[in-house]
Structure 1
Amino acid sequence: MNMAQANSMKQMGSRMLGCAVERMQWSNKMDLIAYGTDRGEVIIQRLNWQKIVTFPSLGEDIAVRSLSWQLDETVLAVGYSNGRVALLDAEREDQISVLNFEDEIKRVYFSKSIKTSDYRSTYRNRTEHTFDFFLPPLPPLSGIGSATKSPDEQRSFAKGSPCFLVVITVTGKVHLLLLGALRAGQIDIKQHVAHPNDFIVHDVRLNGNFNAVYALVTDGSNLKVLHFHNSVLQEYISPMLHLAVHCANVLETKNYINETIQCIMEAWETVLLEMDNKLTKYANQQPEGSLSADFLELLVFGYATHEIEDFLRDDLTEKGVKKLANSIDLSYSTVESLVTKQLQSSGVNMFFFLNSLKGLSRVTYFFEPLLSCEVTQEALRACGAFLMKVLEVQQVIDQCVSDMKLFFSWLCIVILRLLQHDIPEEMTQLTPEDTIYLAEYLNSFEDSVVENDDGTVTKRKFNLEKVGQYMENRNLQQIVKSDPHHLWHRLLDENECLRNCTLLFPHEKETSLIQQRDKLLAAVDEVFKRPDESISASFVQDAEIICASWLAESEGDKHALVHSSFVANEDANTDMLVTTINHHEVLLLEFNKEFSLLRCMRLDLQPGPFTSEALRDDVYSKLQLVDLEFYNEGTLSLLIHSIAQNESKQSYFLQFALDAAKGKQTQHLMPNNISLLDMVYPCHVPDLMEGNNLKPLEGESTHMTVSGSRKVVTILSEQCRKMTIFEMEIEDDEDDTEMSQNSLLEISKESATSSNE
């Protein structure tokens, strides 16, 4: 591709938007651009301006701070001003996960893709993906009031190219997450600067070998690049990839368990609502203790008080009893189905993943800094206890269904007798055993004592329902009685060593399902704290590079002045970092992957001694940088405007080929603390420019985003409300390869037309 073709550009469209755009990012895989608005929305649209999906704002005064597409995927990471990072799936128009951090997000991005083949030489495990073979897909959720999700929509974090998600907060804390799931270390940059009270973090980038980070910061009056190496990341990246897959599946299962329990609670609330409408309202009108006595008299002696007789005959009625029985039975069926299928299946899946992690923790050569055998064993015990609680809930539901059928069947017979109607033959008569059981059941109506949050105690009247206590975050009020003659229970009672054995899973009879779920999730979180702590403790600063010195700039200028971009150059096996060091100069740092050599290039927009006379005018001598970004490894895209006096601001776009200044690079040995202030001399860009390299743009442009893989450039103007898209690298035989004054006129016409629409 010749130089003219590389620099050619053609406008593809322009639109006036209804709101200001604050952040933009092109997808590497598809013709999708994501942008965040001043309303806090995230909008994804195609190259042809077709909107794909709009993710609403999180709330008032919550702004979008950063956007980043996962390489070759439809997953978008969004960082917000309230400390939240959301992973969004543009294809399914859904949210994959949410991460919450303490401080406002400065930047969030996905690293380049990890080539797993490069890291498999020392560690291989053929059981890595056995869960795909052994575990069937979880059944879709279809709870009352919940939207059904098909199994293929229950997206796993682990799908897609392996990479790190890097989250940077404004306070200088950096968090690494492998596959967006496994917390793989954090570092507080503020702890490594000389002036923590006069400190700004501009950017932090993970290097191409995934074992170090570059931090671009303002420390007092200096702009610095700090380099931190990490030995754990370097030596354990392969087992970390294996661990991250399990972590992603554990988090996915964790979310599924939470969604299932939410569905169960919605179905249970339907049962409670039906009972409150009919039965509890009457029970609350009766004196304390009289309810059970009145119903027992009705059962044993056939004598009904006037209150019960009026309630059963006039308020409840036979038809009402049957309707109530059917409604409650249907709700219980929904609850039982969710417990036996979804909840138990997800619990088994969780047990499988935790059991695999326990096995990995025993391979200490590879996993010693990543997993603790004792902690994984405790998580496995918590999962076993959770599964036992699920089985207990199943038994309680079966018992409640049986009790309800018996109770409502008896009520129907009583009402028919009160109305002096014949009892149909199909109605089952109570056996003596049923009568005894029903008497015990009626006697327990008012046994339920509930402790309120404020410490007071209240009694729940008409306590027909025993499943609801499992859905509350408090100990059970009615504990299921175990058979004292059961051989296993006797064995545990007589042998303390067995009761305390870590290999046996405990059955915690006092805890509710919600409490047991919380214990499991807390134990799972403990498992994945170890890699985060090990990697965090292994960050070591080994170099500090001073790039520039701020003289009279104010605090606000420091934020606005620094624009940076980073690319891991696989062809040259280097890491390339570019940053502005003042209004008209750019510093390009190129490190080799071993971090032993630094090549540095300083680009100045002002005319130099070899600038042609045609370019020596007021416009070119007054150029200032507005934005910059790597178009690809060999080209730097620059957005510039002129501040010439007596003229309106004119914006320009420049594609600068880095090869043109290769000979101007200086070399420095690393790791080393160096100052580049007097060691690197400027290379004047106009000396190297051809007359047609600087492309004039309409109006005053404020921001841009580029994509070398998509060959597109998007530029914002008109106070960030006008978006213009250009196609790059136009073929030579096309007519519109240059941005002439005529093409600028066409831009004006098209933008006017679009704004009128």
Structure 2
Amino acid sequence: MDTSEEADVKLGGAVKQTDEKHASSELREMVWSPKMDLVAAVALPEPNDVILYRFHSLAKLWTHPSPSDTSIVRCLAWGPLGKCLAVAYSTGQVMILSVEKAGVLYTHNINSIPTKLYWHAVDQPEKRLGVPLFKDLCDKMLPEVPTTSRENESRPSVTHINRDILNYLVVSDEDGIVNIYVYGLLSIAHINLHNYSAQHCRALSSCLSRSSSSLVSIGEDDTNVYLTVVNTDVLAARNEEIQVLADKFVKLLSLLEQCDLSVNKMVEAWEDSLMELDSKLNQFAQQKQELKEGTVLNDFLELLLFGTPSDLLKVFLVKDLTERGMKKLGTSLQTYYRTMEELLTINMQGAVESIFYHLNDLYGLSQWSDTFALVGLDTAHVNSALQACGSLCLKINEMQQLITTGTKNLRAFSSWLYRVILRISEQEISERMNSFIPDPNAVAEFLEDNFKGLEESNSRIRLEKVGQYLRDDDLVSPLKLTENNLWDNLTSIPHLAASGLIYKAEPNKSLIQLYKRLALGLRDALTTPAVSVIRTMSIGTQKLLCKRTKFQALQQFSFEREDSSSLIYTAYLSERPGSSDLKLVVTRLVLAEHSLPLYQCELEFGRLGQGTAQYTCQIHKVLDFDHYLKEEIIVLLQQRDEDQQAYLTVRLNLANIPSDYWVCDSAPTVVDAAPWICPSYIKILQNATNALCTSSSGKRDIGSVMLSSRRVRLFMYDVDDDSDDESLTASASMLEESTIGSDKENSQS
């Protein structure tokens, strides 16, 4: 090989070992954050926990437990801004975790086993019109929605998601499906590789180009491994529209979270005090019916008018209801209705009205046929969600009216009964009770609403009417609506009735039913883009990569050079035929050329150091690799000479390998990459008896090598000082002192 080209290799800073630590748990793999000195690790044994460590001390920050006993972590991916972490499980769940809160932001269920995650930040082009396509004024137009207190504030909001730049989470699975999610949340594409292949295939990995105009997917069938290029120009051409939709989706999702919390709080606050009173009153009504002594309504009206109860009613009041029971009921009613009213009107009503505002925005955008309609925003689906939201707003007003009138009349009824029981029992009425004299009209209205016609209709007494709104069933006792001439006139006009501007009240539906209808309508409205976008995508090319083999490692990364040529690299480790050694193959797909050529080369590593006397080993074994930055990779090697068995890492810039060594659209040739590795990029791992894998973050100039499932060496790249403290590995007691955490810390922070 001509070494005259070695002069073109630019010398860089040194690699410095900063420390060696014992991790708090046995680890399987580590993935470094692109923006912070943090590393996410998969713990052993299975089912796996995900642990977040700090770089310098390898101190454990938090642990996220496995969602079930059968969930095994398949892969991890950091968000572009380092605020979120995506975790894929063997059960088909893809969880988006908040780094700050250590909680789940969102969960996708893909109904298959995920194989690879790739979180891609888009290189944003200039605005097509020179100004933003759409400016959301919700911050100025909407009041701030009061937040419902979260349990220990441990559950993060989806507003913590990465939204400063447009980004896509690409999920590949074993059924040959590639899902693309904007911000890791909104599904924008559901690509089935079977449409581009004659046989059933597994999607091993998928990667978007820097501009998002192409998706490169690695898939395998029973015999071969293919590289498939899918044209995703719609993602690049309509990135502004997609970003607007994704921002709306995040805001709607956050408001739905607020509604969920409010509904859950209302269900928890629901009291069964009135249910007990209902039961006693129904037993009293049944007793009167058996004895044929009139009706319950007559007894209570006579008591209200003349102040004298019948003998049966007197026994019922003193023996069954009792003074203590009515006193307790009055106290609990006051607290119960006040809590319900606050949760409904302050928390949930504000969130639902904000959803109504955002849906009206989407309804208007959906009618912009040459922009948002092209990315699948459908007017009919948005209008359906808008109708559901309008009905929910009316139901909240109805429930609010019920609570207001119920509080007034029920309080008057219970206070009146309490005073009657005290008088019958010849007990003194306190000054506090005398300060509140129940309104006889309110009591009479309550009696007529709840006791009239019970015997004729053979129905039950139901004083508690709020709880039925919090069940997923039709209302048992809906409000009696008065005639509404305005409503009748509006619905009688055909054009107005079909305009979608009139919202149905749904008098027989509960609050929970209408809320679920709204959530379903939102899901339908915001999943249609994924169906429409996929129709605009087409296959660019499909190339044979290699015969089917077992990959020990597989990575893809994209890069755009200064000449605007877009590259996608695919690197993989697989076994050599007839040998236990691994071969490192790198492919480079050039997307700027019309023919989409695929260049390949198989890398081996001979004598390193560009002829310096420090490195004399003539052959090295490849153990692992990781993408570092741009077109650079970090490779973990082991010397193979008889008297040299040391482990080392090297940093290789693939752009330094001359184009003559890249073979186009044919089997790769073996290339010795050693001449293009500058000596300062070589790091021998002193006193290392084993090395399992390497991981790095080029944006932070940090990396690590796992020497065992617990021992981790930490490195910094491009440092000026090449001094290194190799004595860190000399003493077992020092390693023991560096152990961070304990077995008791395995629970989630």
TM category (shorter chain) comes to 0.7 to 0.9
Query: Which whole-Å deviations, capped at 9, do the CAs of 1:250-275 have from their partners, x for residues lacking one?
Result: 2222222222211222122xx22x33
Q: Which amino acid aligns with 1:522?
A: L
1:241-280 superposed matches below 5 A: 241-268=243-270, 271-272=271-272, 274-276=273-275, 279=277
Of residues 372-381 and 278-287 in structure 1, the stretch that sits farther from structure 2 once superposed is: 278-287
In the alignment, the residues of structure 1 paired with residue 216 and residue 194 of structure 2 have an alpha-carbon distance, to the nearest angstrom, of 14
Q: State the match for 1:349 in structure 2.
A: 354
Displacement, 1:657?
Answer: 3.0
2:462 is aligned to 463
**Matched residue, 1:439:** 447
Conserved in 2, the CA contact under 8 Å of 1:185 and 1:532?
A: yes
Superposition deviation, residue 690 in structure 1? 6.5
The partner residue of 1:9 within 3, 16, 22 is 16
Instruction: Tell me if structure 2 keeps the 8 A contact 1:10–1:730.
Output: no
| Number of equivalences | 711
The answer on whether the counterparts of 1:563 and 1:628 sit within 8 Å (CA) in structure 2 is no
Aligned match for 1:165, one of 169, 183, 194? 169
Secondary structure of 2:163's counterpart equals: coil
* Equivalent position amino acid for 2:27 in 1: V
User: 369, 387, 397: which one pairs with 1:381?
Assistant: 387
Indicate yes or no: 2:43 matched with 1:37: yes
Q: Is the 8 A contact 2:80 2:162 kept in 1?
A: no
Alignment of 1:635-650 (within 5 A): 635-641=632-638
Structure 1's 104 and 642: CA in aligned 2 closer, same or farther, altered over 3 A?
farther
CA drift of 1:62 comes to 0.9
Q: CA deviation at 1:23?
A: 3.6
Aligned partner of 2:481: which letter?
A: S
Residues 160-207 of structure 1 deviation map (CA, whole Å, 9 limit, x = unaligned): 3221111222222111111223211111224433442xx443210011
- Alpha-carbon contact 1:607-1:684 (below 8 Å) kept: yes
Show structure 1 runs of 5+ residues with no match: 450-458, 669-673
Amino acid corresponding to residue 50 of structure 2 in structure 1: V
Q: Does 1:695 align with 2:705?
A: no
- Supply the AA of the counterpart residue of 1:348: E
2:586 paired residue number: 587
What residue number does 1:726 align with?
Answer: 715
Match of 2:519 among 518, 521, 528: 521
SS at match of 1:155: helix
* Alignment deviations for residues 574-594 of structure 1 (CA, whole Å, 9 cap, x no partner): 223132263223223142445
For residues 650 and 60 of structure 1, do their structure 2 counterparts lie closer, same or farther at Cα, with a shift above 3 Å needed? farther
Question: Is the alpha carbon distance of 1:25 and 1:113 closer, same or farther for their aligned partners in structure 2, counting shifts above 3 Å?
Answer: farther
Match of 2:32 in 1: 26
Give the distance between the partners of 1:747 and 1:112, measured in 2 at CA. Answer: 44
Matched, 1:751 2:739: no
CA apart distance, 1:429: 5.1
Aligned partner letter, 1:147: E
Of 564, 569, 573, the match for 1:577: 569
**Secondary structure class of the residue paired with 1:62:** coil
Q: How far is the alpha carbon of 1:244 from its aligned partner?
A: 1.7
Look up the SS of the partner of 2:462 in the other structure: coil
d(CA) in 2 for partners of 1:581 and 1:736?
30
Aligned mates of 1:89, 1:37 — CA distance in 2: 18
- For 1:685, give the aligned amino acid: A
Change (3 A) 1:716 1:427: same
Aligned to 2:86: 77
SS state at 1:481 partner: coil
Q: Which residue in the other structure is 2:100 paired with? A: 91
Does structure 2 conserve the Cα–Cα contact (< 8 Å) formed by 1:156 and 1:248?
no
What are the within-5 Å matches in structure 2 for residues 513-552 of structure 1? 513-550=511-548
If asked which structure has higher relative contact order (CA below 8 Å, sep 6+), I would say 2
Residue range with higher mean Cα deviation, 292-301 or 149-158: 149-158
Tell me which of 205, 225, 228 is aligned to 2:227.
225
Q: Which residue of 2 aligns with 1:654?
A: 650
Distance (Å, rounded) in 2 between the aligned partners of 1:710 and 1:460: 72
2:559/2:567 contact within 8 Å kept: yes
Contact 1:351-1:380 at 8 Å conserved across structures: yes
- What per-residue deviation string (whole Å, max 9, x for no partner) do you get for residues 589-614 of structure 1? 14244565546351432549999798
What is the deviation of 1:285? 6.0
- Give the 3 Å change call, closer, same or farther, for CA 751–287 of structure 1 in structure 2: same
The CA distance in 2 between the partners of 1:492 and 1:689, in whole Å, is: 79
Unaligned runs of 5+ in 2: 1-7, 575-581, 743-749
Aligned residue among 355, 358, 363 for 1:358: 363
How far, CA to CA, are the matches of 2:105 and 2:608 in structure 1? 55
Query: Which residue identity is paired with 2:537?
Result: F
Letter of the structure 2 residue corresponding to residue 576 of structure 1: I
Question: Secondary structure at the residue paired with 2:342?
Answer: helix
| Cα distance, 1:494 vs structure 2 | 5.4
Three-state SS of the structure 2 residue aligned to 1:482 is coil
TM-score (structure 2 length as normaliser): 0.85
**How far is the alpha carbon of 1:141 from its aligned partner?**
0.3
Q: Is the 8 A contact 1:565 1:579 kept in 2?
A: yes
Report the equivalent of 1:60. 69
What does residue 456 of structure 1 align with?
none
Q: Check the 8 A contact 1:112/1:568 in 2, yes or no.
A: no
Amino acid at match of 2:334: D
Q: Select between 537-546 and 350-359 the one with higher mean Cα deviation.
A: 537-546
1:238 deviates by 2.1
**What SS class does the counterpart of residue 105 from structure 2 fall into?**
strand
> Residues 52 and 681 (structure 1 numbering): CA distance in 2 closer, same or farther, change over 3 Å?
same
**Which TM-score applies when normalising by structure 1?**
0.84
Relative to structure 1, the CA distance from residue 581 to residue 60 in structure 2 (aligned partners, 3 Å threshold; closer, same or farther) is closer
**1:708 Cα deviation from its structure 2 partner:** 0.8
Change (3 A) 1:446 1:464: farther
Q: 1:413-446 deviations in whole A, cap 9, x for unaligned?
A: 1211221235467265566534532432451697
Counterpart amino acid of residue 112 in structure 1? A
How many Å separate the matches in 1 of 2:608 and 2:497?
Answer: 87
Change in CA separation of 1:702 and 1:288 when aligned onto 2, cut-off 3 Å: farther
Partner amino acid for 2:355?
M
- Cα 1:494–1:233 change in 2 (3 A) is closer
- Contact kept, 8 Å, 1:23 with 1:65, in 2: the verdict is no
The aligned amino acid for 2:516 is D
1 CA distance for matches of 2:573 and 2:103? 40
Output the amino acid matched with 1:539: M
Offset at residue 289 of structure 1 (A): 6.4
Aligned counterparts, 1:346-495, within 5 A: 346-369=351-374, 370-423=376-429, 426=434, 433-443=441-451, 463-484=462-483, 486-492=484-490, 495=493
Measure, in 1, the Cα distance between the counterparts of 2:329 and 2:11.
Answer: 80
The alignment partner of 2:100 has SS state of coil
Report percent identity of matched pairs.
21
Q: Does structure 1 retain, via aligned residues, the 8 Å contact 2:16–2:723? A: no
Alignment counterpart, residue 630 of structure 1, candidates 627, 631, 634: 627
RMSD across aligned positions (CA): 3.6
Measured against aligned partners, the alpha-carbon deviations of 1:269-291 in whole angstroms (never above 9, x if no partner) come to xx22x335x53564576674649
The 10-residue stretch of structure 1 (374-383 or 472-481) with the greater mean CA deviation from structure 2: 374-383
What CA deviation, in whole Å up to 9, does each residue of 1:215-274 have, x standing for no partner? Answer: 122333333211111243243222222222112212222222222211222122xx22x3
Residues 545 and 537 (structure 1 numbering): CA distance in 2 closer, same or farther, change over 3 Å? same
